[in-house]
């Protein structure tokens, strides 16, 4: 599965969050989006991090992020040929579609002679519109170049509605690999040092990951009536003001309620 292989992910740090099990096995790692128009300092920090990356097989396409995060309706997601409909902002949707077209053009030569391509899953792991866009671009090119497309098995309470659409009649073909915890932490420290770590500070990696083989719709076998085995790495997240927030433990919530009641009583 690693013959003539490339890992293509949306942003720097997606590599170690969702696909740490393969980063030291693929022949090349490619980041699609570097620049964040609303945060120029983030793009500078990402370039510095890529220059200091512990592995030498890394490159970036330097495409500007389409600024799509939290612009789709994740309660009722609408899929399109370019990813998701950004129903919360028509301007963002047009930019998102244009970015998809640019991405397809930019990665064409990178995947033309590849046997295996690794990327995000169709529901964007925890629910990230950029991730869905990258998957859709590589799925489009898979039809043309016939490589094997592998995607990650991460999901969250935010993306589970979209995930459920894909696992209906899903042809379950996957490989489970141990997560590379030591290398992931080492690379995460470089991101943190340069100020471009975008995930939870106290995040704890799963011990293993399952890589799902994407089967083109024309090749799908008849669905089994009672489903298929489908392993998931499930994350609980909370989005507030378009930023990731830690999900408090239920006991913490109870403690906060008791504290408020005591204050009122006093």
Domain locations in the chain?
5-265
CATH architecture of the domain covering 5-265: 3-Layer(aba) Sandwich (3.40)
Beta-bridge partners for 58? 29
Is the pLDDT confidence value at 253 over 70?
no
- Token pair 């009122």 is found at 264
> What is the distance between the alpha carbons of residues 10 and 32, in angstroms, rounded to a whole number?
5
Asked whether the beta carbons of 116 and 147 are under 8 A apart, the reply is yes
37 confidence band (pLDDT: 50, 70, 90) = confident
Summarize pLDDT for 39-91 with one digit per residue, the tens.
889 989 999 999 999 999 999 998 999 989 888 999 999 999 999 999 888 88
Please tell me the predicted confidence (pLDDT) of residue 255. 65
Determine the length of the chain. Answer: 266
Is the pLDDT confidence value at 236 over 80?
yes
Residues 6+ apart with CB under 8 A from 46: 11, 12, 31, 34, 60, 194, 196
227 confidence band (pLDDT: 50, 70, 90) = low
Please tell me the predicted confidence (pLDDT) of residue 82. 95
Show the 3-state SS of 104-168. HHHHHHHHCCCCEEEECCCCCCCCCHHHHHHHHHHHHHHHHHCCEEEECCEEECCCHHHHHHHCC
Kindly report the CA angle at 231 between 141 and 157, in degrees rounded to 5?
Answer: 85
Please tell me the predicted confidence (pLDDT) of residue 243. 64
Beta-bridge partners for 238? 245
Please tell me the predicted confidence (pLDDT) of residue 93. 92
Please tell me the predicted confidence (pLDDT) of residue 138. 97
Summarize pLDDT for 118-159 with one digit per residue, the tens.
999 999 999 999 999 999 999 999 999 999 999 999 999 999
> What is the distance between the alpha carbons of residues 251 and 257, in angstroms, rounded to a whole number?
10
Phi, psi of 32 (to 5 degrees): -80, -50
Is the pLDDT confidence value at 197 over 80?
yes
> What is the distance between the alpha carbons of residues 171 and 36, in angstroms, rounded to a whole number?
36
Whole-Å CA distances, 72 to 69, 139, 185, 198: 8, 20, 31, 20
Across the chain, what does the average pLDDT equal? Answer: 88
């Amino acid at each position: 599965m690693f013959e003539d292989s490339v890992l293509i992910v949306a942003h720097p740090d997606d590599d170690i969050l969702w696909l740490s099990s393969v980063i030291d096995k693929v022949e090349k790692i490619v980041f699609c989006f570097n620049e964040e128009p609303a945060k120029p300092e983030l793009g500078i920090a990402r370039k510095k991090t890529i220059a200091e990356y512990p592995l030498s097989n890394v490159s970036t396409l330097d495409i500007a992020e389409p600024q799509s995060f939290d612009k789709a309706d994740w309660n009722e997601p609408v899929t399109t040929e370019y990813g998701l409909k950004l129903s919360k902002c028509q301007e963002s949707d047009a930019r998102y579609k244009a970015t998809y077209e640019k991405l397809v053009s930019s990665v064409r030569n990178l995947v033309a002679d590849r046997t295996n391509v690794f990327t995000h899953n169709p529901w964007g792991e925890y629910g990230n519109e950029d991730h869905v866009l990258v998957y859709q671009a590589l799925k489009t090119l898979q039809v043309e170049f016939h490589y094997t497309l592998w995607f990650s098995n991460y999901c969250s309470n935010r993306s589970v509605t979209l995930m459920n659409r894909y696992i209906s009649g899903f042809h379950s073909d996957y490989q489970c690999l141990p997560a590379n915890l030591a290398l992931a932490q080492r690379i995460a420290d470089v991101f943190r040092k340069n100020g471009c770590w975008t995930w939870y500070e106290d995040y704890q990696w799963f011990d293993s990951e399952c890589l799902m083989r994407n089967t083109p719709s024309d090749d799908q076998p008849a669905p089994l009536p009672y489903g298929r085995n489908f392993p998931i790495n499930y994350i609980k997240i909370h989005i507030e003001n378009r930023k990731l927030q830690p999900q408090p433990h239920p006991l913490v919530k109870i403690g906060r309620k008791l504290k408020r009641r005591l204050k009122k009583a006093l």
